C-alpha cells in the first residue's frame, strides 16, 4: 500500500509539473529535506528522487567527481545499478525530479568487445532513443553522462573524470521494493 501511495504521489507531481503548475525542478537544498535516504556506514547516502516504470531512481547527496567506473561501484555498494533511462518516459521523469544543475552518470556504454554500438549496461539492450549532443557519440569514449543544463548525453572516458563538467553526480536505480 505504501508503494502505491508513493507511486500515486509521484504521478500527481509529474502531472502537475508537466502541465505547467507551480511545481518546479528540485534544487540541491531540497535534497536535505527528502526523507527515506539510504545510508552506508561510511556516510555515503542516496536520496530517492522518482519511481517510474517499476524502477526507483536515487541520486547521491554528495559523492561526485568520480569516474563512471567508480559510479558503477558506488551503486553496487547499495545493491543497485547505475541509472539507465531506457525509455523516453523514464528519461523525462528522471530529468524532472533530479535536482537542478545536476549532471549525472548514465549506464550506457559501448565498452563491450567488438562493437561501437551503444547499450544499456544492465541488460545490454541497444538504445531505442537517444539524447546525444552535437558530435556525439564520438566513439573515442565508452561511457556517458547527462548534462542537465543542455539536456543532452555526452561521452567520456570510463576511467577518467578530469574535465568538464566540474561535477557529475551518481544516479542509481533498483526495481521498486515493496514494503
Can you give the pLDDT at residue 113? Answer: 59
pLDDT at 129: 83
Residue 153: count other Cβ atoms within 10 Å of its Cβ: 21
Q: Is 6 helix (H, G, I), strand (E, B) or coil?
A: helix
**Number of domains within the chain:** 1
What's the pLDDT score for residue 139?
73
Q: Do residues 132 and 122 touch, judged by C-beta distance below 8 A?
A: no
The parent domain of residue 150 ranges over: 2-175
pLDDT for 16: 29
- Per-residue pLDDT at 82: 94
Give every residue of the chain whose pLDDT is below 50, as ranges.
1-23
The CATH number of whichever domain residue 119 belongs to comes to 3.10.100.10
| pTM, rounded to two decimals | 0.74
pLDDT at 141: 82
Amino acid at each position: 500500500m505504501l508503494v502505491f501511495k508513493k507511486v500515486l504521489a509521484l504521478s500527481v507531481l509529474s502531472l502537475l509539473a508537466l502541465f505547467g503548475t507551480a511545481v518546479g525542478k528540485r534544487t540541491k537544498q531540497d535534497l536535505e529535506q527528502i526523507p527515506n535516504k539510504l545510508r552506508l556506514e561510511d556516510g555515503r547516502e542516496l536520496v530517492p528522487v522518482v519511481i517510474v516504470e517499476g524502477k526507483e531512481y536515487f541520486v547521491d547527496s554528495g559523492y561526485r567527481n568520480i569516474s563512471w567506473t567508480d559510479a558503477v561501484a558506488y551503486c553496487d555498494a547499495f545493491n543497485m545499478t547505475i541509472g539507465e533511462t531506457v525509455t523516453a518516459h523514464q528519461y523525462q521523469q528522471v530529468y524532472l525530479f533530479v535536482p537542478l544543475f545536476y549532471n549525472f552518470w548514465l549506464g550506457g556504454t559501448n565498452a563491450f568487445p567488438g562493437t561501437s554500438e551503444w547499450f544499456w549496461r544492465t541488460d545490454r539492450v541497444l538504445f531505442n532513443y537517444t539524447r546525444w549532443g552535437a558530435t556525439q557519440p564520438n566513439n573515442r569514449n565508452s561511457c556517458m553522462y547527462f548534462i542537465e543544463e543542455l539536456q543532452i548525453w555526452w561521452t567520456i572516458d570510463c576511467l577518467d573524470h578530469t574535465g568538464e563538467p566540474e561535477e557529475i553526480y551518481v544516479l542509481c536505480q533498483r526495481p521498486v521494493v515493496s514494503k
